[in-house]
Amino acid sequence: MPTTALSFEHYAALPEAEAHARILAARTQLGPRAVLLCHHYQRAEVYRHADLTGDSLKLARLAAQTDATFIVFCGVHFMAEVADILSRPAQTAVLPDLAAGCSMADMANLAKVERCWRELAAVLGAPDEKITPVTYINSAADLKAFCGAHGGIVCTSTNAPKIVDWALARREKVLFFPDQHLGRWTGYKKGIPLDEMAVWDPDLENGGLTPAEIEKARILLWKGYCSVHQMFQPEHIHRWRAQYPDGFVITHPECSLDVCRASDHVGSTEFIRDIITAAPQGTHWLVGTELNLVERLAQELKPQGKTVQFMSPIVCMCSTMQRIDLPHLAWTLENLVAGNVVNPIRVPAHEAEMARVALARMLEVS
């Protein structure tokens, strides 16, 4: 029987060793009823407790295939939403800290996207006939539902090229949100001229664009970005190449176009991990993605003589992902042991239904 929920204030100052011990004890008591997911960007002390690791979509799909009742997602809010959307009704997604959001995902919200859609209609006519909305997986559930309802689709950093091909084959334009950099890199790789990819600023009337600019654009890029990937600069690559002329640069497509063009490889977190892990011993790598993943790879591959270096001289982690810490994880798990579900993530049924439509289109295409 459930008891009164355990208050987090008794966990906030929990010593690290005690937190680890209590997490392990709670996991033993929960057994297969709970599965613990950790995104690649998660802090090391939490990551060590993971049952499953990977990027957001992979984790949500894997969790839905387990028999676990509770999906404890050590990631950010949109990831737990995807887990809830894809999981079975008997499963409950849990986010250890509700403050673990995503600043990029927050740069596009439903009200602004709907206003954009109305403004595009005023310039182009019925947008459902001319524009395919494409939302990055790093977005809120209601935006995935918006895409589902308007003939649109979801994409990941891996399948974005196939998704954009699909979208442009159906309609003449794409509205791509919330990350302008992934959209621009994808369009660039598809051979779309830069002057046919216009940035839509949601805080300005008509996105800050003239009717002629809207008419010309094949891809309308939402003015959003990842604060971590935004800080990497081409000069970081040039300085490193002077030191390691035989080295390799690999970046995430959430980086700017100039950084991506200056790199040897561009791809998702899974891609980055796979490429560096499979590389020959003794190779040198400069990596443009979140620090926790880079440091984990550096430690894992050090015995092979590989050097794996964070691209920026300034240390910057995903601050919202960092909110999932040992005290919050211990608090979450001990509440589950006591019969209390804290911080359940439940997407409203009507949103979940349309979001599944957009996700199903993506899975079919990719």
- Tell me: the pLDDT tens digits for 164-209? 999 999 999 999 999 999 999 999 999 999 999 999 999 999 999 9
Give the mean model confidence (pLDDT) for residues 325-354.
96
What does the alpha-carbon distance between residue 17 and residue 77 come to, in Å, rounded to a whole number? Answer: 27
The per-residue pLDDT for 316 is 66
In sequence order, what are the residues at sequence separation of 6 or more whose Cβ sits closer than 8 angstroms to the Cβ of residue 175?
116, 117, 120, 127, 131, 132, 133, 134, 200, 220, 222
Give the mean model confidence (pLDDT) for residues 301-313.
96
Fold that domain 105-225 belongs to in CATH: Rossmann fold (3.40.50)
The per-residue pLDDT for 129 is 94
Distances (CA, A) of 69 to 30, 54, 130, 303, 318: 10, 20, 43, 39, 28
Residue 356 has pLDDT above 80, yes or no: yes
Residues of the chain with CATH 3.40.50.10800: 8-101+320-347, 229-310
Per DSSP (E only), the strands in 23-141 are 34-39, 52-54, 70-74, 92-94, 131-136
Residue 341 has pLDDT above 70, yes or no: yes
CATH superfamily, region 229-310: NadA-like (3.40.50.10800)
- Tell me: the pLDDT tens digits for 261-299? 999 999 999 999 999 999 999 999 999 999 999 999 999
- Report the chain's C-alpha Rg in angstroms: 21
CATH number of 8-101+320-347: 3.40.50.10800
- pLDDT level of residue 320 (50, 70, 90 thresholds): confident
pTM of the shown model: 0.94
What does the alpha-carbon distance between residue 255 and residue 253 come to, in Å, rounded to a whole number? Answer: 5
The per-residue pLDDT for 56 is 87
The per-residue pLDDT for 221 is 98
- The pLDDT > 90 percentage for the chain reads 90
Mean pLDDT, the chain, whole residue set:
95
What does the alpha-carbon distance between residue 222 and residue 358 come to, in Å, rounded to a whole number? Answer: 19
Return phi, psi of residue 31, to 5°.
55, -140
Q: Which residues pair with 290 in a beta bridge?
A: none
For the chain, the helix, strand and coil percentages under 3-state DSSP, each to the nearest 5: 50, 15, 35
- Tell me: the pLDDT tens digits for 22-71? 999 999 999 999 999 999 889 999 999 999 999 889 999 999 999 999 99
